[in-house]
Amino acid sequence: MTETITDTVNRFIFKTETFAIFKLDNIVALGDVAGVREGDRLTVTGSWQEHPKYGRQLRVEHWEKPVPSTEEAAADFLSSGLIKGVGPVLAERIVSVLGPNAVSAILEDPDVLKKVKGIGKKAPEIRRQLQETYQVQQVVAELIRLGLTLKTAMKAYMKFGRPAAEYVRRNPYCLTELDLIGFHRADDIARRAGLAPDSSFRVKAGILYVLNESLWDEGHAYLPRDELISRSLTLLNHVEKSVSLDIVEKELSRLKGVHGSAEVSLAWAREYEEEIARDVKRLARQRFDVPPLPRDLIRGIELTPDQNAAVKTALESGFSILTGGPGVGKTQTVRAVIRAFELQNPWGGVFLCAPTGRAARRLSEVTGRQAHTVHKLLGLRNGHADRNRKNPLECDLLILDEASMACLVLTKRLLEAVPNNARILFVGDADQLPSVGPGNILRDLLDKVPTVRLTEIFRQAAESQIVTNAHRINRGQMPLIDRSKTDFIFLEREDPEDIAKCVATCASGMGYDPLDVQVLSPMRKGPVGTAELNKLIQGGMSGPRVKYGQYVFHVGDKVIHTKNNYDKGVFNGDIGIIKKIKMQHDVLVQYSSGLVSYSGDDLRELEPAWAVTVHKAQGSEFKAVIIPVTTSHYVMLHRNLIYTAVTRAREKVILVGTKKALAIAVRNNKPIQRYTALSGLLRDAPRR
For the annotated binding site for ATP, the residues are 327-331
Q: Is 572 helix (H, G, I), strand (E, B) or coil?
A: coil
Q: Where are the beta strands (DSSP E) in 410-496?
A: 423-428, 451-454, 488-492
Q: What is the DSSP string of 507-566?
A: HHSS-S-GGGEEEEES-SSSTTSHHHHHHHHHTT--SSEEEETTEEEETT-EEEE-S-BT
Contacts by 122-125 with C-beta closer than 8 Å and gap 24+? 122/85, 122/86, 125/84, 125/85
User: How far apart are alpha carbons 526 and 69 in whole angstroms?
Assistant: 59
Q: Which amino acid is at 342?
A: E
Length of the chain: 688
Binding-site annotation: residue ranges: 327-331
Q: Which of 221, 269, 279 is nearest to 686 (CA)?
A: 279
User: What per-residue string of b and e applies to 2-22 under the rule 16 or more CB within 10 Å gives b?
Assistant: eeeeebebeeeeeeeebbbbb
User: How far apart are alpha carbons 399 and 402 in whole angstroms?
Assistant: 10
Q: CA–CA distance from 405 to each of 440, 442, 617 (Å)?
A: 9, 8, 11
User: How far apart are alpha carbons 367 and 397 in whole angstroms?
Assistant: 15
φ/ψ (deg, to 5) at 686: -60, 135
User: How far apart are alpha carbons 353 and 339 in whole angstroms?
Assistant: 17
| Sign of the CA dihedral running 277, 418, 384, 568 | positive
Residue 581 pairs in a beta bridge with 587
